[in-house]
Amino acid sequence: MVTGTLVATLLVAGLASLFMAWAIGAGSSGSTPFAPAVGANAISIMRAGFLVGILGFSGAILQGANVTSAVGEELIIGTQLSALAAIIALMMAAILVAIGIFTGYPIATAFTVTGAVVGVGLAMGGDPAWAKYQEIATLWVLTPFIGGGFSYAIARLLRAEAVPTELAVPLLGGVIGLLLANIQFVFFAPGDQQGSLAGASVRALGGGTVTFVGVSLAVAAVITLLLWYRTRVDPAGAQQQFLLVLGGLVAFSAGGSQVGLALGPLIPLLGDVQVPLVAVLAFGGLGLLVGSWTGAPRMIKALSQDYSALGPNRSIAALIPSFAIAQTAVFFGIPVSFNEIIVSAIIGSGYAASGDGEGEVSGGKMAYTVLAWIASLVGAFVLSFGLFTAISAVL
């Protein structure tokens, strides 16, 4: 039975979640995907903010279920978040992210939300979910090395005189094709489950591994051929178009990953209310969209211009590993910071060009950013734990 008290509680928690979604859209998911493209002058700041909002909304609906479930149900063992705990976690995390937006420093949203949820969960008497923490910590620690390392390697490949652009760009497009054939969408599986194009082809056609590999290679081949044709006709234009497509894919992935940070704490509160998951995801996606349209331009400028002056090659190099890491996080249901992903990739591609006197990376800015990430995790945990404990004692 839905009581007035329950409705009021859900309303307050929903507003807190919407505020968090706005802060995420204005910050990490709204600013990071197209920052390299803006830095390469492939798209304007305002147009990037508009597109990232639409794409993030789509990603939230089509890919948001895994991370939403993980944040809401897998970070604490033995208890579920209460309404008070959910509100405190969301508000503390949103405030910290908003501080980062207005000061121009990219606070890691995943760090703040994870710290806040774990803080209130432990304050409620729950037990740490050590296995999940190990998964999260592994991805967080590896992201700078994987993202930075691969972006560095791709940037060097694109700058190598021995490898012409007409060959390098189509081959990289083929890699993206392989990823696209295997990432998860809700419309490729029944119910609320998710599936890939390759997996759906196996279910429809049979053939097992042969069909799976064949479909993956076919998608990769189509994209490779299209880019090969475009680079022969207009190499510079093909690079710009490839860069914009990559920005769109990263924006879509951001929506699928980041919406769970805003919605996860709400999930335990919806047990008594029959709300379709797609409606909940659309609610969070709407918050991301509004945040992207109203607050993202400031952070886009900070990432695209303050960190490094990116060209098309380095922007492509930054976005390819960012897309791969984001989809890995979505698949395993791991909350991940898009600021960490993109900034690490920007650094890697920046160092690939720094030896030639281009794209110098600000070491001071990087140091402050890393400190902000650590402070956001610890601060969110301490503030949420302390505030919940204090309010519970008074009540």
Report pLDDT digits (tens) over 234-252.
Answer: 888 888 889 889 988 988 9
The mean of the pLDDT values for the chain is 83
Tokens of 125: 């008497």
More confident residue, 137 or 50: 137
- CA dist., res. 25 & res. 294, Å (int): 9
Tokens of 372: 């902000």
Task: Write down the pLDDT at residue 271.
Answer: 67
pLDDT at 355 over 70: no
Name residue 77's beta-bridge partners.
127
Residue 161 burial by Cβ neighbours in a 10 Å radius (0-12, 13-18, 19+): exposed
Name residue 195's beta-bridge partners.
185
Question: What does pTM read for this prediction?
Answer: 0.86
pLDDT at 175 over 90: yes
pLDDT at 387 over 90: yes
Least confident piece of the model among 55-59, 167-171, 188-192: 188-192
pLDDT at 307 over 50: no
Helix (H) or strand (E) holding 77: strand 76-77
Task: Write down the pLDDT at residue 123.
Answer: 94
- CA dist., res. 31 & res. 20, Å (int): 15
Q: Which of 9-13, 96-100, 150-154, 288-292 has the largest mean confidence? A: 150-154
b/e string for 175-192 if b means 16 or more Cβ within 10 A? bbbbbbbbbbebebeeee
Instruction: Identify the band that residue 308 occupies on the pLDDT scale cut at 50, 70 and 90.
Output: very low
- Per-residue pLDDT tens for 315-328? 888 889 999 999 99
- CA dist., res. 108 & res. 100, Å (int): 9
Place of tokens 């897309």: 323
Task: Write down the pLDDT at residue 162.
Answer: 82
CA angle 255, 196, 313 (to 5 degrees): 60
- What number is the average pLDDT over the span 84-109? 78
Q: Which of 340, 327, 335, 383 is nearest to 132 (CA)?
A: 335
Task: Write down the pLDDT at residue 225.
Answer: 94
Instruction: Identify the band that residue 386 occupies on the pLDDT scale cut at 50, 70 and 90.
Output: very high
Q: Which of 52, 18, 53, 60 is nearest to 285 (CA)?
A: 60
Task: Write down the pLDDT at residue 137.
Answer: 92
The amino acid at residue 188 is F
- Per-residue pLDDT tens for 28-85? 666 667 776 777 677 877 888 888 889 989 988 888 888 888 898 899 998 888 888 8
Instruction: Identify the band that residue 3 occupies on the pLDDT scale cut at 50, 70 and 90.
Output: low
- The answer to whether the beta carbons of residues 336 and 139 sit under 8 Å apart is yes
pLDDT at 306 over 60: no
